[in-house]
Structure 1
Amino acid sequence: MKRVLILAGLLISSFAFSQGSPDYGSGLKVNINEDGSSYFRIISWAQFWAQHNSDRPLDSNGNEQADLSFSLRRARVLMYAQINKDFLILTHFGLNSLNADTMSPTGTGDASQLFFHDVWAQYSLGEKHAVGGGLHYWNGISRLNNQSTLNIMTLDNQRQSWATLGLSDQFARHLGIYLKGSFGKLQYRVAVNEAETNNLQATTVPLNGGAATYTGRRLLGSKAAGKAYSGYFDYAFFDAESNFLPYKVGSYVGTKKVLNVGAGFFMHPKGSVIADATGNLSGEDVSIFAVDAFYDAPIGNNGGALTAYALYQNTDYGKDFRLGTTYETGSMLHAHLGYVLPVATKTKFQPYLSYDSRKIDAINDTASQLGIGTNLYFSGHNSKITLEYQTLKYAQNDAVNTITLQAMIYL
């Protein structure tokens, strides 16, 4: 029992310390029994945005929109409970991107509502492996598709990396079963999931001879297109990262030395649908593959640290698939680099750069995005301010430039 308690304590403190706040401890942890072998922990966080964008389109009534806007980017509560050494249950709820256009008079509108992001239960298969099921975030593809929103180094996650959000899943979470664990320095996570029926193209039908639509389960049925399969594998050359929870850390702010290389996939047989010249429907397999590398380490003895990440992702949603400026059949290169300035104070500055380039098959063109920003850490990721300038150039469209100031606290 003593060994179990020590292991549980290490896992909890590792998750807390990984956020880059050495004085945070294990957070709000409540023991259920006297020896602490049963407990629950609660995490709460909020991210507030002030954005300036002079390139905003006209609103639905044809009026010009203000350059400055405010929004509540995220407001979340997560709780997990270790019932005993074999069982774990996690619930995670909140809301996203609440702004003046999505608020409702009495808080009962769709965008005003709290909803479950995760609800899953897990059973341990020995010390290094576990199986679980529910609405979960044990995703495949890449590190960014498993990114925690508590400790992103850049302002927000690279959007195309959440490659199935709203297409086969509910807000980057699938309903299904997963297996996760490690073999030495190699960590793995694999899952078999239900594909979502009512997705972002819930009312879309493919045009005769046109591009594919992500409508396989709805138009072809759950037997033909109901399941999706995913996995991610990463090897640690230096410090091992915790896989107690599925959320990957974006920056350790100098508290660990990590070099990981990874590879992952997502497969949805007949997930997309095309129609031939006479309107006959057929399914097309959705396949996404990625390789990535993550480096994070302290530099020198004065608190400096370097964070670097690189990703290549190949995405096939079906013939010439394209949905807005977010999802496209094609390929992507993404990288970001940040440096914590070596100052011997609790407050840390971390300037960073991010860049990605996408190849879009449907228009035989490209899109690129550049981000320049800095984090001001008052207490690691637990209390920080982020300022970022971002410019997006999509095909032949004019570049869209946005400046965002974010204030974040999590407890």
Structure 2
Amino acid sequence: MKNYQWLLTLFLILYSTFSGTAQSFKNGKLTLNEDGSRWVKLTLLNQVWVRSMEYNPGTTKFGYDYPKGTDIGIRRYRIQFLGQLTDRVFFYSQFGENNFNDISNRKLGFFVHDAVGEYAIDREKLSLGAGLTAWGGLSRFSAPSVGSILGVDAPLFLQSTNDVTDQFLRKLSLYAKGKLGKLDYRLTMADPMAIQRSNSYDPNLSSQSNFSPKPAKKQWNGYFMYQFLDQEGNQTPYMTGTYLGKKKVFNIGAGFIFQPEAMWHSGLSNADTLLTNMVQLATDIYYDAPINENGASISFYGNFTHFDFGPNYIRQLGAMNPTTGSAATDILNGGGNAYPAYGTGNTLYFQAGIKSDDNFIGNTSVMPYVSLQHSVYERLNDPVNFIDAGLAWFLSEHSSKLTLGFQNRPVFTSDGDISQRKNGVILQYQVYFN
């Protein structure tokens, strides 16, 4: 069967199998026993973007000059199928497509995001799992719950090896996770995916660090979060962007990613090959709470991240880039909407939003937001300041919402200096069945 039809068929088979003992659908779950402690669940998410953007100098589309444009694309389409099969056995799977636009390969983008089996040694304190998963380290939004993000997109720099040595942030891993009182923890041993299969693979050795093509050593990840107020769930690795005033949450966290000899570069003599460790450290703070009894709320997230990818490492990011190349050899960013999001150095990031009272416009509410990524990278002479600000309109909370975002990014020359800045406007419509 094509795409997700087999998944829906499996869900119907489970329904017919357990319909004699299952109570009903409850909280979106199909219960499998009398007390509802065993269940399966299916969720759907679709995010569509309409954008008008100024592209980087020299941008081309299949060889033609393309200085600016308007495009439509599917930023994310996801199906989650998960369930508590016994008191100790949990499974989680996710399927979908990212960044499907007019230049994408057709009928090839639907793939497995997550495939996890988990066993609870102690359902609160310790669970062990394995598979293709986003359980890992560094920070809260290294694994964001994309259906509840505050703005038009998550802070993507925190997905630090996205599609380089992982599959859209998911890694083949063994993990342990749980809660010790108010301390929520996750620890992971991951098997990095071959850099040779990445679109960003460059086999050439230079004085600027890059990922080594040698067989990778295991990667170690961890994230620890102390939850002062309301406790958040940790059944899946994905962290809520904003609760829209439904919880009062105040957390501080710290995390790491470490991989021995992950990077390489040439020494003083070009004949020398030097291997270095990849080290990433982060600390963050999250506050999300109601501010009155009418549904108004505030959300804030702050993060400090240190990246060590080796000397002068830099990597570009262009979310759902609608272009194919660049004719400008003096522009570091490359074509389209790309900018240097990752590099050896330090980043400060914050995002904040204030939600209106419920029923602010009819039975809907709005939430203006702003975010800033401020990065000082070794390779660049000027800091990276990526700005995203806008307004979310909650037609039915996160289930149906429109988000209008304005983005401003720097354009760097190949010497590492800012030459100009470019703008973009994004309108996202989200449908989320959860």
The whole-number CA distance in structure 2 between the counterparts of 1:86 and 1:269 is 34
Cα distance in 2 for partners of 1:169, 1:26 equals 35
CA contact (8 A) 1:27 1:41 kept: no
Flag the 1:72–1:375 CA change in 2: closer, same or farther, 3 A.
same
How far 1:199 sits from its partner (Å)? 3.1
Cα deviation code 1:221-245 (max 9, x no counterpart): 2xxx321000000111110111111
1:337 match: 352
CA displacement 1:278-316 (0-9 Å, x = unmatched): 433231100000000000000112211000110000001
For structure 2, which runs of at least 5 residues remain unmatched after alignment? 1-24, 317-339, 413-417
**Could you tell me how far apart the structure 2 residues matched to 1:42 and 1:234 are?**
28
1:49 maps to 49
Q: Note if 1:174 corresponds to 2:198.
A: no
**Is the partner of 1:286 in helix, strand or coil?**
strand
Q: Cα offset for 1:26?
A: 5.5
- Give the structure 1 partner of residue 423 of structure 2: 401
Match of 2:387 among 348, 366, 370: 370
Q: Which residue does the alignment assign to 1:155?
A: 152
- 2:341 paired with 1:326: yes
Q: Structure 1 residues 91, 158: CA separation in 2 closer, same or farther (over 3 Å shift)? A: same
Per the TM alignment, residue 103 of structure 1 is displaced from its structure 2 partner at its CA by 4.2
Query: Could you tell me how far apart the structure 1 residues matched to 2:26 and 2:134 are?
Result: 22
Matched residues in 2 for 1:79 and 1:343: separation?
Answer: 31
Maintained 8 Å contact 2:98/2:109:
no
* Amino acid in structure 2 at the alignment position of 1:127: R
Q: Secondary structure at the match of 2:396?
A: coil
Equivalent positions of 1:279-290 (< 5 A) are: 279-290=271-282
2:63 counterpart of 1:38: no
Q: Deviations over 1:126-164 (max 9, x none)?
A: 131200000011121011102111110011011211112
**1:101-122 CA distances to partner (integer Å, 9 max, x unpaired)?**
1143xx2xxxx32111100100
Rate the CA distance shift 1:366–1:138 in 2: closer, same or farther, 3 A. Answer: same
Identity of aligned residues (%): 28
Q: Deviations over 1:352-373 (max 9, x none)?
A: 1111210010123311011111
Alignment of 1:4-403 (within 5 A): 27-55=27-55, 57-64=59-66, 67-104=69-106, 107=107, 112-128=108-124, 129-197=126-194, 198-207=197-206, 210-215=207-212, 218-219=213-214, 221=215, 225-276=216-267, 277-324=269-316, 325-344=340-359, 346-395=363-412, 396-403=418-425
Question: What secondary structure is seen at the aligned counterpart in 2 of 1:363?
Answer: coil
Question: Following TM superposition, by how much is the alpha carbon of 1:343 offset from its aligned partner in structure 2, in angstroms?
Answer: 4.1
Question: Structure 1 stretches of 5 or more lacking a match?
Answer: 1-24
User: How many angstroms apart in 2 are the aligned matches of 1:64 and 1:124?
Assistant: 53
Equivalent pairs, count: 373
The letter of the residue matching 1:342 is: D
Relative to the length of structure 1, the TM-score reads 0.87
Q: Which residue of 1 aligns with 2:322?
A: none
Greater alpha carbon shift after TM alignment, 29-38 vs 76-85: 29-38
Whole-angstrom distance in 2 between the partners of 1:237 and 1:125: 25
Alignment TM-score, normalising by the size of structure 2: 0.83
Structure-2 change in CA distance of 1:37 and 1:304 (3 Å): closer
**Structure 2 counterpart of 1:314, one-letter code:** H
Offset at residue 394 of structure 1 (A):
4.2
Taking only aligned residues, the RMSD between alpha carbons, in angstroms, comes to 1.7
Instruction: Report the CA distance shift for 1:192/1:293 in structure 2 as closer, same or farther (over 3 A).
Output: same
Cα distance, 1:326 vs structure 2: 2.8
| Amino acid in the other structure paired with 1:363 | L
**CA shift in 2, pair 1:205/1:155, >3 Å:** same
**C-alpha distance in structure 2 between counterparts of 1:401 and 1:274, whole Å:** 34
Instruction: Name the CA distance, whole Å, in 2 between partners of 1:265 and 1:77.
Output: 29
Q: 1:67 is paired with a residue of what secondary structure?
A: strand
Q: What letter matches 2:351 in structure 1?
A: H
